[in-house]
Amino acid sequence: MRVFLSFLLMTCGFLAGQTQAATPPGDIRQSGFVYCVNGQVNTFSPQKASSGLIVDTLAAQIYERLLDVDPYTYRLVPELAESWEVLDNGATYRFHLRSGVQFQTTAWFTPTRAMNADDVVFTFQRIIDRTNPWHTINGGSFPYFDSLQFADTVRSVRKINSRTVEFRLVRPDASFLWHLATHYASVMSAEYADRLAAVDRQELFDREPVGTGPFLLGEYRAGQYIRLQRHPHFWRGTPLMPQVVVDLGSGGTGRLSKLLTGECDVLAWPAASQLTVMRDDPRLRMTLRPGMNIAYLAFNTNKAPLNNPEVRHALALAINNERLMQSIYYGTAETAASILPRASWAYDSTSTITEYNPAKARARLKALGIENLTLQLWVPTSSQAWNPSPLKTAELIQADMAQIGVEVIIVPVEGRFQEARLMDMDHDLTLAGWSTDSNDPDSFFRPLLSCAAIRSQTNYARWCNPQFDEVLRNALTSQQLASRIEVYDTAQKILARELPVLPLASSLRLQAHRSDIRGLVLSPFGNASFAGVTRDSAGVKEP
């Protein structure tokens, strides 16, 4: 499976510009900016991703959705749909599309028409219709939507006219609009799909992207960089920068060095330990915002002795969360008491942080007859939106567990668990996290902890509780916020009792950039469009 993944990335070599030099030209600052981030690209389709660079950064540049979430008010706002209606008490949703929205013209596709209802219908039928010929192209997995049982929730999606689309659901779902506002729900081109099908090259659809967003893919070098070129016919107006280079080539202190020397204009997710250096440099600016994210430790509840909630609670007592806050986040996170971040409207204020008590942990394990326990802990190697230093976090957890006689073997996993999806998931513990561009709690609960999310491989705890799933379904039947809050309180109490995952932290979103960069928007829900980013002609003043 590892060989297949490497082959998939290599096959992107025929993208536009692949004959150019493998290093971005030095004059990028005359026509754009460099965005440095540590990550990998395994697909250019947000539908096919469970997380990663495509969802966190690239989707907002290449694609658009029917709806967006305002990064300041947290409210749903129009994007490709200029208006919508909620009918049948939340069982039917009708969208009225914006006219004149143009798809991107790329080296591999030239559109002949504007975006219309056919594109929206194609996008979602690919996900929900298992008999659709496009459903199994590049695998029949749509991780986010599979975790929501989306195909079993949506009865139909149909075109009423060229600018109107209607979704009919099996039952009312108060979270439906929020799921359509995530980057996973990016609208694709049906005409592009037809063009590829005509030449029997459907597999290129998720590798050579075409969207309506402000930037199109110009060049991709696996593990090195991605060049985005502005979409001149973008409906909101021509993006201010002709191009953006997303630098994938360095991590850790290497990225900070690039920012300090000016090789990077923007540094995504800097390590919290680097804050002092960046804050004291007059050439740099820092942005911090609350984040809709959670870092957590998942117990594989399918494996003994972790299938026993008492064992999970005992192990949780050994983790020094206060030290994690000091050593990993440096004041840029809150200790988590729930799988929901405190910014969520459904957060249970009565939730309590797990006590740190190694002596009690040892006593409980002894009473349970647990001795000489060895556990494998899977951990991503690169910084994440929810954890700037996952490997260091794993080492601290390893040391905590050693104090209670539990040996933890750290297993590094590259690619934000994308590669891990292709393997057997034969882990004991997983250091994981989740960030979402939705303000609905359903975007945390079902993707992470529903029974369906085991099959979609986003439920790392492999925990399936029919009572919990029923509670989540009940939360979707009412459009009244107060009713949903009451039901989600019940869900959080079940999780506190069963503890399939141990919440660790909800971190602030951090971003650093050179002081001549203007117009960056940092959203709690992920990166926003770069269309309004520009460079101050005065430049950066060296000290």
Eight-class DSSP state of 92? E
Q: How many CB atoms lie within 10 A of CB 20?
A: 13
Closest CA to 260 of 244, 237, 242, 284: 284
Q: Residue 343 class from Cβ within 10 Å (0-12 exposed, 13-18 middle, 19+ buried)?
A: middle
pLDDT at 26: 54
Tell me what pLDDT residue 38 has: 80
β-pairing, 81-87 with 92-97? antiparallel
CB atoms within 10 A of CB 145: 23
Q: How many CB atoms lie within 10 A of CB 527?
A: 26
CB 43 within 8 Å of CB 49: yes
- Which residue's structure tokens are 């399936």? 464
Per-residue pLDDT of the chain (543 residues; tens, 9 = 90+): 333 333 333 334 434 334 333 445 456 777 899 999 887 888 999 999 877 788 889 999 999 999 998 888 888 999 999 999 999 999 999 999 999 999 999 999 999 999 999 999 999 999 999 999 999 999 999 989 998 889 999 999 999 999 999 999 999 999 999 999 999 999 999 999 999 999 999 999 999 999 999 999 999 998 899 999 999 999 999 999 999 999 987 655 677 889 999 999 999 888 778 888 888 899 999 888 878 899 999 999 999 999 999 999 999 999 999 999 999 998 889 899 999 998 888 999 999 999 999 999 999 999 999 999 999 999 988 777 788 889 999 999 999 999 999 999 999 987 544 444 434 567 899 999 988 877 889 999 999 999 999 988 889 999 999 999 999 999 998 888 899 999 999 999 999 999 999 999 998 888 899 999 999 988 777 668 999 999 987 555 554
Measuring CA to CA, which residue among 163, 383, 369, 137 is closest to residue 273? Answer: 383
The residues spanned by each domain of the chain are 23-42+52-62+213-289+510-543, 64-208, 293-507
Residues 6 or more apart in contact with residue 13 via CB below 8 angstroms: none
d(CA 51, CA 416): 7
Cβ-proximal residues to 470 (8 Å cutoff; 6+ apart), any chain: none
Q: What is the pLDDT of residue 357?
A: 97
Token pair, residue 295, equals: 């870092």
CA torsion through residues 241, 246, 252, 254, sign:
negative
What is the predicted pLDDT for the residue at 538? 56
Architecture of domain 293-507: Roll (3.10)
Give the CA radius of gyration of the chain: 23
Give the alpha-carbon dihedral of 146, 379, 206, 531, to 10 degrees.
100
**In whole angstroms, how far apart are CA 223 and each of 10, 11, 144, 337, 446?**
10, 13, 25, 36, 32
Report the DSSP beta bridge partners of residue 501. 298
Q: How far is CA 361 from CA 11, 52, 68, 377, in A?
A: 50, 35, 45, 19
Amino acid at 275: L
Determine the Cα–Cα distance for residues 541 and 215; give it in Å rounded to an integer.
Answer: 29
The answer to whether the CB of 503 falls within 8 A of the CB of 294 is yes
DSSP class of residue 272 equals G
**SS3 breakdown of the chain: % helix, strand, coil, rounded to 5?**
35, 20, 45
Which residue, among 308, 421, 307, 403, has the nearest Cα to 361 in the 3D structure? 403
| pLDDT computed for residue 13 by the predictor | 40
Helical packing angle, 190-198 and 117-128, nearest 10°: 70
CATH number assigned to the domain covering 23-42+52-62+213-289+510-543: 3.40.190.10
Is residue 431 within 8 Å of residue 291, measured between CB atoms?
Answer: no
CA separation, residue 534 to residues 225, 241, 295 (Å) = 20, 6, 33
Cβ–Cβ under 8 Å, residues 272 and 328: yes
- What pLDDT score does 256 carry? 84
CA quadruple 39, 40, 41, 42: dihedral positive or negative?
Answer: negative
Q: What is the pLDDT of residue 253?
A: 61
CATH 3.40.190.10 assigned to 64-208:
no
Alpha carbon distance 187, 203 (integer Å): 18
DSSP label at residue 329: I
Instruction: Give me the pLDDT at residue 168, please.
Output: 98
Residue 422 DSSP SS3: helix
